[in-house]
Amino acid sequence: MVGLVLVSHSARLAEGVTELARQLGGEAPIEPAGGLPEGGLGTSIELIEQAVRSADRGAGVVILADLGSAVLTVKLLLDDAADLPGPVVLADAPLVEGAVSAAVAAAAGADLDAVRAAAEEARDFRKL
């Protein structure tokens, strides 16, 4: 099953979105990676890498990130960490809607490309 990692500048935000996605996404492995190791706002390449390793079940991992520097931190990890498990990709998707859509797709057994596509299609969801 494809795993998910949700990256935010805020640990509480990453944990909250993870909780929501887990409740709606069933069995999908979802891990938060928010804030700095010592607390406070920011992003940590080490926390993201730990979350990727924890979410990996052998079918790859899709990462979603909240804001610009979180995206940059994920890109640094993907560029520099040759020893990450399986394929790991960054989705260009909204964090909340993308996480829920990706979790549902992953729980249904979708492959890595389909899970990323589900996350990215969420940016087109209208609320009104």
1 and 59 in contact (C-beta within 8 Å)?
A: yes
Length of the chain: 128
pLDDT in tens, 30-42: 999 999 999 999 9
d(CA 124, CA 5): 21
Compute the CA torsion angle 62, 66, 49, 25 (nearest 10 deg).
-40
* 125: its two tokens: 């969801």
Quick one: pLDDT band at residue 26, thresholds 50, 70, 90?
Answer: confident
End-to-end CA distance of the chain: 33
- Which tens digits make up the pLDDT trace of 31-90? 999 999 999 999 999 999 999 999 999 999 999 999 989 999 999 999 987 788 889 999
State how far the alpha carbon of 19 is from the alpha carbons of 3, 31, 42, 111, in Å.
14, 9, 20, 22
pTM: 0.95
